[in-house]
Copies of this chain bind each other. A is one copy, B any other.
Amino acid sequence: MEQVKVLLDETEMPRQWYNVQADLPTPLAPPFHPATMEIATPEQMNVIFPMSLLEQEMSPQAYWDIPDEVMQVLALWRPTPLQRARGLEKALGTPARIYFKNESVSPAGSHKPNTAVAQAYYNKQEGIKRIATETGAGQWGSAMSLACNMFGLECTVYMVRVSYDQKPYRKSIINTWGAEIFASPSEQTNSGRAALAENPDHPGSLGLAISEAVEDAATRDDTNYALGSVLNHVCLHQTIIGEEAIRQMNKIGEKPDVVIGCIGGGSNFAGISFPYVREKIKGMDVRILAVEPASCPTVTKGLYAYDYGDTAHLAPIVLMHTLGHTFVPPGIHAGGLRYHGMSPLVSRLAEDKLVEAIAVPQLECFEAGLMFARTEGIVPAPESTHAIRGAVIEALKAKEEGKERVILFNLSGHGHFDMSAYDAYLAGQLSNYEYPQSMVDEALSKLPHVELPAM
């Protein structure tokens, strides 16, 4: 029998997260406060985030110990398997060896709980009783409700109405873990009420849902806000994925030639790749490839500029790749990748050429996702099909060149709650959803102007 999976025992789990800020060739530029338009202080951000997470956000410290209480919850499903995609290799007829890290095995079905559990823990430590957060397609809201439940925190999720109506089982699983969920815009906040007053049938947007959650957290002493991607501490918590992958690849004497993840806000890609960025800086010969949707090509087509994190101008202004905070991405099924900006860390690494990015159209992703489901069994989340597409591209290149190649990608989640996307694809109802360049041009004309003080 040919080996398929590489497992780690719980005793072999990494005990520290890796902070790529420690090794950046160019340090990160500071975030600005959206109200003062000056560099944001930890004290200002402490209104909605605990100090321990802000410390992780700002610090250049290379390693952070994972608290025992966090390890204990992660051990419910971690370490996750590293799997060799032999069926996919055969279907492609490639000489490449394709490996994937299977993050779909978490109870919430994606990598998101890796940081949700840590965020719930640190908030609990600082006496917070309740978390308010937003969710688009539902992966993050599910993860945060699971994590809050594990630490006895209350949790309120504002879910973009159009997804709330399209994916009713997300609401069900969030309720099952004891959290409260509102379709956004809701009657719970000023931002929500204002939007509903303007349009009672408002479909909602991620920007608006963020505004509702931030407002909720900012106006209640017992409540903090939690974000599922983009920020440095979120990327930090996800590095357990790559640290495990390195140990697993070592176990079988393999070294990846290319490490691949999909990018929306950047967190699952950060998770699989930042430990490899460290190795690359130390001299490892490895390419690191981010795959984004062609309909929201933040890194490949956006500007590297200061921009708001949300449409309502409540989140910090950060230096990142952006299509402009007023850009509304077309309605592809990979809802988790529909974000105008990108993690400042991923953006910085792309600028420094440590990370490459490509943009791929929706139909090619579903084609690759279906091939994966039929060869490896697992039905991937629409977001994860972008990483699979990236792996297929690399595997076909290897075939063309007649060369061996070791490909490692992150399977960020399963698609059990996104099956209507597969229905639409199989029925030939999907397209690649292009957008007019004028939309991006207009959005990019609305970037904020901030001035860095002389260093």
Q: Tell whether A188 is near chain B: CB-to-CB under 8 Å.
A: no
**A377 adjacent to B419 (CB under 8 Å):** no
Of A16-24, A35-43, A129-137, A368-376, the one with at least 4 CB within 8 A of chain B: A368-376
Of A70-78, A327-335, A356-364, the one with at least 4 CB within 8 A of chain B: A70-78
Give, as a whole number of angstroms, the nearest-CB distance from A418 to chain B. 9
Q: What are the residues of chain B within 8 A of A419 when measuring CB–CB?
A: 168-169, 172-173, 176
Give, as a whole number of angstroms, the nearest-CB distance from A62 to chain B. 23
**B177 adjacent to A373 (CB under 8 Å):** yes
Give, as a whole number of angstroms, the nearest-CB distance from A380 to chain B. 10
Give, as a whole number of angstroms, the nearest-CB distance from A368 to chain B. 13
**B5 adjacent to A373 (CB under 8 Å):** no
Closest B residue to A4 by beta carbon equals B75
Q: What are the residues of chain B within 8 A of A417 when measuring CB–CB?
A: 416
Q: Tell whether A286 is near chain B: CB-to-CB under 8 Å.
A: no
**B173 adjacent to A76 (CB under 8 Å):** no
**A176 adjacent to B1 (CB under 8 Å):** no
CA distance A83 to B107 in the complex (A): 13
**B76 adjacent to A422 (CB under 8 Å):** no
Q: Which of B1, B5, B10, B149 has a CB less than 8 Å from the CB of A3?
A: B10
CA distance A175 to B424 in the complex (A): 11
Q: What are the residues of chain B within 8 A of A197 when measuring CB–CB?
A: none
Q: Which of B77, B87, B370 has a CB less than 8 Å from the CB of A377?
A: B77
Q: Tell whether A109 is near chain B: CB-to-CB under 8 Å.
A: yes
Q: Tell whether A420 is near chain B: CB-to-CB under 8 Å.
A: yes
Q: What are the residues of chain B within 8 A of A172 when measuring CB–CB?
A: 419-420, 422-423
CA distance A1 to B171 in the complex (A): 33
Q: What are the residues of chain B within 8 A of A149 when measuring CB–CB?
A: 374
Known: A374-B178, A378-B107, A423-B172. Is A7-B9 also a contact (CB below 8 A)? yes
Q: Tell whether A65 is near chain B: CB-to-CB under 8 Å.
A: no
**A107 adjacent to B379 (CB under 8 Å):** yes
Q: What are the residues of chain B within 8 A of A241 when measuring CB–CB?
A: none
Q: What are the residues of chain B within 8 A of A5 when measuring CB–CB?
A: 10, 75
The interface centre, meaning the residue of A5, A176, A420, A423 with most chain B CB atoms within 10 A of its CB, is: A176
5 other contacts beyond A4-B72, A172-B422, with CB at 8 A cut-off?
A168-B420, A175-B423, A176-B419, A176-B422, A416-B416
- The 5 closest A-B CB pairs, nearest first, are A107-B377, A172-B419, A169-B419, A416-B416, A4-B75
What are 9 A-to-B residue pairs whose CB atoms are below 8 Å?
Answer: A1-B71, A2-B72, A169-B419, A169-B420, A172-B419, A172-B422, A173-B422, A176-B370, A176-B379
